[in-house]
Amino acid sequence: MTAATARAYPNIALVKYWGKQDAALNLPATGSLSLTLDVFPTTTTVELVDGPEDAFELNGGVATGTPAARVVAFLDLVRERAGSTARARVTSVNAGPTGAGLASSASGFAALAAAASAAYGLPLDAPSLSRLARRGSGSAARSILPGVSVWHAGDDESSYAEPVASPELAMVVATVDGGPKAVSSREAMNRTAATSPYYDGWVTSTRATLDEMVAAAERGDYTRMGELTELSALRMHASIQACDPPVRYLAPASVALFDRVAALRSEGVEAYATADAGPNVVALCRPQDRDAVADALRGSGLAGEVTVAGSGPGVEVTDGRAGAAS
């Protein structure tokens, strides 16, 4: 019997991924760029079993419905590539919140890609894992890599994440209680592409934003990286809010946190705000400013949990060996 365990960390995009050019292959309409964090890892074990079905246990409970169906579809892809019919028992634990807009699907599918590849005997190099993780969840392609990475748009062969030289970055994650997520990011992404009049502008402008972001990162221009981070987030939310029926992920406290981060800048602490498909706000800052930013966000009374994060590692197979599928 073959088993393997892998650990991966969530990532937060500085240039957002929002829209697909190919839903079946999960190819993005544009490239994106993110920082893999050093908090909230997902640890996943894949064990090949003799039984007739896959089993998926998440955070100690049996998973059903869409999460389980996505894991089975992913394992089907792995089996097809490995030439195996073996079923698997998948056990996954998120150290952070699940499905709360804190990128648990990114760390989840990155960890699953690595553990399944090791258990079924598929290649474990970063481009192969990133291409595979992409099929589970687009943003998972970036959680294969440590630190700052760019996930390329392209075709099935070329759409994977690669490292980008960057100044050291930190992030402060401020959770905002916006209630349960009303619309999943996958559904909202599809709805934006189908109905938002701003979607074409989002795609065109994001290509330029990404080129500028990579150049800013490579020349160590933290200020421009921060400015582009806020720009990308607000443009993404603008295009989401314009879809029909509209989706609004930002809560009043989220908007107030963007204002608080702007006030911090005028006080001399150079932080920039971003937000994903939910009400939580993440402040980008220099590593030496992270505690000052965290204190300010805690003191604002606008956030629940406030978590300080640095640049995290890429996915790692922590146990088990690559072996031929049984």
Of residues 121 and 138, the one with the C-beta less far from ligand 2P0: 138
Residue 288 phi, psi (nearest 5): -70, -15
| Local structure of residue 274 (DSSP, 8 states) | E
Shortest distance (Å) from residue 301 CB to ligand 2P0 = 26
Shortest distance (Å) from residue 19 CB to ligand 2P0 = 10
Residue pair 207/28 in contact by the 8 Å Cβ criterion: no
Shortest distance (Å) from residue 136 CB to ligand 2P0 = 7
Residue pair 44/88 in contact by the 8 Å Cβ criterion: no
C-alpha 151/C-alpha 20 separation (Å) is 13
Q: DSSP readout, 45-94?
A: EEEEESSSS-EEEETTEE--HHHHHHHHHHHHHHHHHHT---EEEEEEEE
Residues that bind ligand 2P0 (CB under 6 A): 13, 16-18, 26, 32, 105, 137-139, 185-186, 189, 276-277
Of residues 20 and 79, the one with the C-beta less far from ligand 2P0: 20
Of residues 2 and 26, the one with the C-beta less far from ligand 2P0: 26
Of residues 16 and 131, the one with the C-beta less far from ligand 2P0: 16
Of residues 18 and 40, the one with the C-beta less far from ligand 2P0: 18
What is the SS3 assignment for 221?
A: coil
Of residues 87 and 186, the one with the C-beta less far from ligand 2P0: 186
Peptide bond into 52 cis (omega under 30): no
Shortest distance (Å) from residue 61 CB to ligand 2P0 = 21
Shortest distance (Å) from residue 1 CB to ligand 2P0 = 30
Shortest distance (Å) from residue 85 CB to ligand 2P0 = 26
Helical residues (DSSP H) of 155-241, grouped into ranges: 185-195, 199-218, 222-241
Closest residue to ligand 2P0, Cβ-based? 138
C-alpha 149/C-alpha 171 separation (Å) is 15
